[in-house]
Structure 1
Amino acid sequence: MKLKMYFLLLALGALTLAFQSCDDDDNDGISVPAELQNALAEKHGNAQRIEWETKGTYYVADFYEDNYEKEAWFTKDGVWQMTETDIPGLAALPAVVKSAFESGRYASWHVDDIDKLERKDVETVYVIEVEQGKQEMDLYYSESGIFIKEVADTDGGHNSEGYLPSDLSAAVRTFINENYPDARIVEMDVEKEMTEVDIIHENKAKELLFTPDGTWVSTSWDVRTSDLPGAVTAAVQARYPDYVIDDADYVETKENDYYWVEAERGEEEVHVKVTAEGVIL
């Protein structure tokens, strides 16, 4: 009998240790230097239930603050880079952002995820991930409700690291400061050997393109089809009488400025470069 009790107590002790080990893994994550703990406390003073992990070269703190689930990214020496906040639904968005989404072209799509991105040296944005059938899109909005851009989600999953801010070259930053005073930088990406910078300027979302050495190529922004000059609309309709104008952008380049107009007829689609005076380029 004593022998049975001994083995029973031994088994219970091992089970208790196993549960404690699991709890420790779940609650504590990895240990981090004091510099990182202090950096998190300075940025998020109300952080609770903190767990640390590493992702690539970054230290990432998962925690809750003010009833929101958050993820803060730091360099190894404690420099804050980004905080991603999980927004539980459209109702939790700022009213202006919610209204902008609901009045946009993707309002009928299923909302899969919403994140608030606060990042070093760039504007705070909200990213609404939507899907319809096999199509998935990431929609970017400023805090003031300006629709910034749409990006096709081809990865089939959430990639927080892709949201991390990138450094602008001195040439690019100087050009923006000189030509778009008071512009607020939202995003920077390198695609097809071109640097793409999204800014908010004069209450518009604008996209700037630069070569790898920082030479400006173009600036463009969305234009409502109802705001197109009459000469532009007339020129497109004269060239493509059976087509309906579906979308338009205004484009500035070194050579000339023009409207980039998209027109459709059933499944067919054409793009037309036309100046404000109605000259098709």
Structure 2
Amino acid sequence: MKKLFNYCLALCLTTAIYSTADAQVRKIPSEVTEAFRQKYPTALNVEWHDHLTNFTADFDLDKVHYEAKFNNKGMWQNTENKIDTAGIPAPIKEGFQKSKYVEDWKIKNAYKIALREDKTQYRLEIQKNDIQKKQLYFDSTGRLLRDNITL
């Protein structure tokens, strides 16, 4: 009985810690909100998240959902939006076809990432099975930049 109690207590504590981990820790600095308004003046449904090292704004623009990241000083870092897997640009598809993941891995989701200096990257979430999942990052020419294991 004591083991069951300890297990339940540990489960409750873990749930409490993880549910507050993404909570708003501090007020969004005016530099950040002003930089966002300058970059996306017609954004709708804006929701802010504090990630300690940066601030993220989830918003809608022209019927597309975006996520923009800004540093603590209000400097824009990147903006990401989900794209349909059928709409993945040809160079990115070719890059994936040339990668070591083409055989056993399937593309689950695709994202377009706008970076500073008018650069664009693409992130593909791929999955081999329920446990093996990765994120592949490609530049706009289809060159694989890096891969990350994901949960």
Question: Which bin holds the TM-score, normalised by the shorter protein?
Answer: 0.5 to 0.7
- Whole-angstrom distance in 2 between the partners of 1:118 and 1:56: 22
Q: Deviations along 1:124-149, whole A, 9 cap, x unmatched?
A: 210111111233232222223x2224
- Whole-angstrom distance in 1 between the partners of 2:132 and 2:146: 12
**SS of residue paired to 1:40:** helix
Kept after mapping to 1: 8 A contact 2:138/2:146: no
Unpaired runs of 5+ in structure 1?
A: 1-28, 157-281
Kept after mapping to 2: 8 A contact 1:83/1:117: yes
TM-score (norm 2): 0.65
Report deviation, 1:31: 6.0
Assess, with a 3 A threshold, how the Cα gap between structure 1 residues 107 and 83 changes in structure 2: closer, same or farther: same
From the CA coordinates, give the structure whose radius of gyration is larger.
1
Unpaired runs of 5+ in structure 2?
A: 1-23
Q: Deviations along 1:182-233, whole A, 9 cap, x unmatched?
A: xxxxxxxxxxxxxxxxxxxxxxxxxxxxxxxxxxxxxxxxxxxxxxxxxxxx
Report deviation, 1:113: 2.5
Q: Does 1:43 align with 2:35?
A: no
**What code does the residue aligned with 1:65 have?**
L
Kept after mapping to 1: 8 A contact 2:121/2:139: yes
- Whole-angstrom distance in 1 between the partners of 2:112 and 2:27: 27
Query: What's 1:159 paired with?
Result: none
- Number of equivalences: 125
Q: Deviations along 1:62-89, whole A, 9 cap, x unmatched?
A: 11123322111112221112222222x2
Query: What's 1:139 paired with?
Result: 136
Query: What's 2:17 paired with?
Result: none
**What code does the residue aligned with 2:137 have?**
Y
**SS of residue paired to 1:86:** strand
Kept after mapping to 1: 8 A contact 2:29/2:72: no
- Whole-angstrom distance in 2 between the partners of 1:84 and 1:128: 12
Assess, with a 3 A threshold, how the Cα gap between structure 1 residues 135 and 121 changes in structure 2: closer, same or farther: same
Report deviation, 1:118: 2.4
| 1:68-147 mapped onto 2 (5 Å cutoff) | 68-87=64-83, 89-102=84-97, 104-107=99-102, 109-120=105-116, 123-133=119-129, 134-144=131-141, 146-147=142-143
TM-score (norm 1): 0.38
- Whole-angstrom distance in 1 between the partners of 2:134 and 2:37: 34
Q: CA RMSD in A?
A: 2.8
Report deviation, 1:150: 4.6
